[in-house]
Amino acid sequence: MSDEEDIILADLPDDELVQQMFDDLYDGLKEEIEEAVHILLGRDWEPYRILTEALVGGMTIVGHDFRDGILFVPEVLLAANAMKGGMFILKPLLAETGAPQVGKMVIGTVKGDIHDIGKNLVGMMMEGAGFEVIDLGINNAVEAYLEAIENEKPDILGMSALLTTTMPYMKVVIDTMVEKGIRDDYTILVGGAPLNEEFGKAIGADAYCRDAAVAVETAKTFMARKHNQQAAH
Ligand code: B12
């Protein structure tokens, strides 16, 4: 039996348990991650704290080693799968703490891009903050976004891209909306690791959000502005 198998997660103090979660996420051990999430919940950790400190913290390490060529796609897929296992447990709990519905968001990852962890996190946090979220999934062509906003009439359109090769596609979507004269009917938020504020401005988005917490704050600010404008008319 290896050392790994000797570890009893429930016996570890919080800081060591979080370290162990970093290791388990790195090794793509979904069941262990799920167990640890339950343990932390049992120790009265806020779902948001588990999400950010343990899961996102662990994924950051995976990201660095992927970048540096230490980890490869199959391993990262396993890590992502383990992360999703933990997120699945936290999702309803984050939503529970939310306020009554404050707005509606359509969100999706752009065409050519299959990264969805960040998008899912934003969706979860938005739901937790009281937004209704329509998730279009990954690899969305402009038509998919247009159809969804037409059907759903959201307040906010969110687009995610994790690749430098796919991020320009956000501009394709926004330009098409401009052409159709519907651009100003929506607040457009964009995000993903390779983006920055300048890029958001350059493509004509309303805001770039560096993480899910900023996305929620920004969305709330735009909703407040929208309500004030409506009240003024
Ligand atoms: C996990 C991962 C994968 C997984 C994805 C699994 C999944 N289901 O998502 C797999 C293994 C499939 C994968 C594949 C590839 N990947 Co990859 N991947 C990553 C990795 C390690 C982590 C991404 C992640 O989930 N981060 C955690 C989340 C929480 O963070 P986040 O996505 O940034 O999201 C936050 C914010 O950005 C923001 N946000 C995100 N979206 C949105 C949207 C809105 C509306 C808002 C407001 C905010 C917002 O809020 C989020 C939460 O706080 C990154 C490394 C990195 N540093 O980002 C590489 C990375 C993105 N991948 C990379 C590459 C190259 C690839 C591949 C091309 C590899 C290959 N050779 O096949 C393929 C591409 C496949 C494709 N067509 O999309 C490169 C991109 C380089 C570049 N400059 O373009 C990176 C940066 C790694 C690297 N340094 O080399 N990848």
Pick out the chain residues at pLDDT < 50: 1-2
CA 160 to centroid of ligand 1, rounded, Å = 10
Q: At what angle do helices 14-26 and 73-96 cross, to 10 degrees?
A: 130
- pLDDT confidence of residue 3: 53
Q: What are the C-alpha distances in Å from 157 to residues 15, 33, 108, 152, 231?
A: 38, 32, 9, 11, 22
CA distance 215 to 222: 11
What amino acid occupies position 97?
A: T
Q: Is the CB of 211 under 6 A from ligand 1?
A: yes
CA-nearest residue for atom 70, ligand 1, is 73
CA 192 to centroid of ligand 1, rounded, Å = 7
Residue 24 and residue 1 in contact, taking contact as beta carbons nearer than 8 Å: no
CA distance 94 to 48: 7
- pLDDT confidence of residue 97: 62
Q: Is the CB of 216 under 6 A from ligand 1?
A: no
- pLDDT confidence of residue 4: 54
Three-state SS at 57? helix
Name the residue with tokens 């735009």: 222
Take residue 168 and report the two structure tokens written for it: 């320009």
Q: Is the CB of 65 under 6 A from ligand 1?
A: no
CA distance 100 to 104: 12
Three-state SS at 98? coil
Tell me, rounded to whole angstroms, the distance of Cα 183 from its chain centroid. Answer: 23
Q: Is the CB of 40 under 6 A from ligand 1?
A: no
Residue 146 and residue 215 in contact, taking contact as beta carbons nearer than 8 Å: no
- pLDDT confidence of residue 1: 40
- pLDDT confidence of residue 232: 75
Three-state SS at 167? coil
Total residue length of the chain: 233
CA 163 to centroid of ligand 1, rounded, Å = 7
- pLDDT confidence of residue 98: 53
Residue 169 and residue 111 in contact, taking contact as beta carbons nearer than 8 Å: yes
Ligand 1, atom nearest to 138 Cα = 78
DSSP one-letter code for 165: T
CA 196 to centroid of ligand 1, rounded, Å = 15
> Of 98, 122, 83, which Cα lies nearest the Cα of 208?
122
Instruction: Tell me how crowded residue 145 is: count the other CB atoms within 10 A of its CB.
Output: 25
pTM of the model: 0.86
